[in-house]
Structure 1
């Protein structure tokens, strides 16, 4: 639980105290522990080296689960970068929630939209249930790497990257058309400083299209969030060798 929360959206932010993350991880562990029954591994019969290996394995599994939840946040930042570079807002960077480096304003808005949808759709409850069920599918001490696991991780990453392209596609398409028209205008009217005029034109058109982009983003985010619990459990099954 602690490893998953360390990179989970919102809780991974530097503004969140480490003690709060540890306390929350301990609280989740206390909630999950009574539902698991007897542990498959007896610590009294294990050596220090084997217990260290077991701990590292559980941390790696938790980080993989947290990465699956965090992937959408990275995708929204990427979509915001695509959009901001087209409408001229890439220089207006701010610190996004959960990130340590400046992110474009559009990316921050998309990340906040994703977090709001995650909460309003009760996906945080679904993820907690998936975390609890993961111990039944993948007991403590189990877990193995396989080619199917790498294929599934690659598929999820590619599908999530495609969401960023879909969200930014309308702005990118309009940006290409606007650039072509400005090139034609520069050839037709050489005296006009098209380069300076293009900033205002691209910003105006891009801002007008942002409303429809946010509607598209909400649909894509909701679709991804509905798929997230099944991806979560499927990833655990593949770790269990199923």
Structure 2
């Protein structure tokens, strides 16, 4: 019994990293997921990881509290990288809504509590379903599991400010916008051609009110095009999950100085 009490500080460090990871990870961090579930799952997952670690006993002193801060930052950063890339779907929805005319009708997303574009919320719901169907959530949890291989809980040295880390973070931002552009390009390109056609018609028939005709026409053409491009959207979401896992693993290696 005394041996278990001596290992309690190590378990607490593991628990803090996982709980911080779940606080920013897509799907697990949503407001409609009960907090009691998040804490219980963090305890359960931490107990599994705890028995796979070979960490000496730690004393509760000033260094231990610094380790807690380090573990919290690590969990938040790893989850935040995954969230940033996954929000490419919302950005793609915003691109589509700008052209289709839905951007003036943003709604409150009950999952995040923030304003969300209509098309972005629609595509995001599909993406979450694809994430669960393809076991993508297991790949996300795999990232936090292997984080202890690169960054042990009892070491303070983490390369937060190295050039490689900054470069990888910038690449993650650029990748998010590239994937968002790829997702929205078929719809945005089609609606751009509609704008060109409306411009030609307004020159040929000046009496026609382009604004009155254009909005319902874009909706009438945009929604079928979205449905036709959903198979390609599913493929891009699968690639997005793989990109999230690779980025998380790369950052962990850089944080660990490898």
Q: Do both share a fold (TM > 0.5)? A: yes
1:71 is matched with 84
**Residue 241 (structure 1) shift:** 0.8
1:197-238 Cα distance to aligned partner (Å, 9 max, x none) = 101111111112102332222111111212332322221110
1:53-95 Cα distance to aligned partner (Å, 9 max, x none) = 2111111111111112212332111110111121122234333
Among 58, 82, 87, the residue aligned to 1:43? 58
1:197 is matched with 213
CA contact (8 A) 2:96 2:188 kept: yes
Is structure 2 residue 93 aligned with structure 1 residue 80? Answer: yes
Q: 2: distance between equivalents of 1:196 and 1:75? A: 32
1:32-67 Cα distance to aligned partner (Å, 9 max, x none) = 10001224xx431x633x222211111111111111
Q: 2: distance between equivalents of 1:13 and 1:230? A: 23
1:130 is matched with 143
Q: 1: distance between equivalents of 2:208 and 2:70? A: 63
Among 114, 123, 130, the residue aligned to 2:127? 114
CA contact (8 A) 2:85 2:244 kept: no
**Structure 1 residues 193-232: aligned runs within 5 Å:** 193-232=209-248
CA contact (8 A) 2:88 2:180 kept: yes
**Structure 1 residues 1-242: aligned runs within 5 Å:** 1-39=18-56, 42-44=57-59, 47-48=61-62, 50-96=63-109, 98-140=111-153, 141=155, 142-145=157-160, 146-242=162-258
Bigger shift: 29-38 or 210-219?
210-219
CA contact (8 A) 2:85 2:172 kept: no
The alignment partner of 2:103 has SS state of: coil
2:9 is matched with none
The alignment partner of 1:6 has SS state of: helix
1:113-147 Cα distance to aligned partner (Å, 9 max, x none) = 22112111112222323322210221113422211
Bigger shift: 87-96 or 164-173?
87-96
CA contact (8 A) 2:107 2:116 kept: yes
> Aligned pair in 2 of structure 1 residues 12, 127: CA closer, same or farther (>3 Å)?
closer
CA contact (8 A) 1:137 1:237 kept: yes
The alignment partner of 2:159 has SS state of: coil
Q: 1: distance between equivalents of 2:121 and 2:179? A: 16
Query: Which structure 1 residue ranges, 5 or more long, are not aligned?
Result: none
State the aligned residue count: 238
**Residue 13 (structure 1) shift:** 2.0
